[in-house]
Copies of this chain bind each other. A is one copy, B any other.
């Protein structure tokens, strides 16, 4: 099922516009290429509208946001909306500062996002105004365990209804939800938390998946999350005793490069939940 979404990237080779942080930008560019799409990074107000116009999707990531790039995020988001391009928001560190929280909230108000992807702390802050952000990592209180899963899925679906965006909450278990349907994804590996940028890379890759599957945003976003998780698992198997997080990062991107539609279909682990309208 998900294999088809990757086949569409291979077929169309979409260009993805990224307004993203300078910490993980190189990894984001390489993973977009690994996912068979083309990245372009651009964040100056003088060009973002033009750049986004020639792309198939936009990925807005607020890590290392600044006074110059925030207006570019709004401008590019609005332009993408006008053109009907799918847009991803990665609210990195929402809750850690007013600037991040308000920028993310403002963006959600002014821009129609196709997908909002973050950890539970970030999404909670945006949905409820309350949150216990611990930098850019998920707060311990917000980790979703088996008992809390049902409530977390319902929470994601409600926030999806409110925003009109597919909500992807990633962690040990990943939730990808629209208002009517949710994917509960069991792929992934704890090692993914030991590198910087696994979230950022997933958001950039999600933009590639939805760019090539614009009429099927929920499935495309779920496919991207499964793809990342599968590659995270496969990359761990490649590690030798001397390897650490830096080699793991390379292996992870390598696995995305080598991922096929067949692997994506056969190794995806998820359940689907439907909601009453």
**Interface residues, chain A, with chain B CB atoms under 8 Å away:** 15, 21-27, 29-30, 33-34, 38-47, 50-51, 54-55, 63-68, 93, 96-100, 133-137, 194-197, 238, 242-247, 249-258
Contact = CB atoms under 8 A, between A and B. Distances in A.
Given A26-B26, A244-B254, 5 more contacts: A38-B136, A54-B133, A54-B135, A242-B254, A247-B251
Given A67-B46, A196-B29, A246-B249, A40 B254 contact: no
Contacts of A254: 242-247
13 contacts: A26-B27, A26-B196, A33-B245, A34-B245, A34-B246, A41-B64, A47-B97, A50-B97, A50-B99, A244-B253, A244-B258, A245-B257, A246-B250
Nearest to A259: B244
Contact of A135 (B40, B43, B251): B40
A246 B41 contact: no
B50 A66 contact: no
Nearest to A256: B244
B43 A63 contact: no
Contacts of A47: 96-100
Contacts of A39: 135, 196
Given A26-B23, A66-B68, A135-B54, A255 B244 contact: yes
Contact of A137 (B38, B68, B98): B38
A187 to B, nearest CB: 18
A131 to B, nearest CB: 12
Contacts of A100: 47
A164 B29 CA distance: 34
A97 B75 CA distance: 15
Nearest to A22: B22
**Nearest 6 CB-CB pairings of A with B:** A244-B257, A244-B254, A246-B253, A47-B97, A29-B196, A47-B99
Contact of A134 (B41, B42, B54, B64): B54
Contact of A24 (B26, B64, B246): B26
A96 B93 CA distance: 31
A135 B65 CA distance: 23
A136 B33 contact: no
Contacts of A256: 244
Contact of A44 (B27, B38, B67): B67
B21 A41 contact: yes
Given A25-B23, A245-B253, A196 B30 contact: yes
Contacts of A99: 44, 46-47, 50
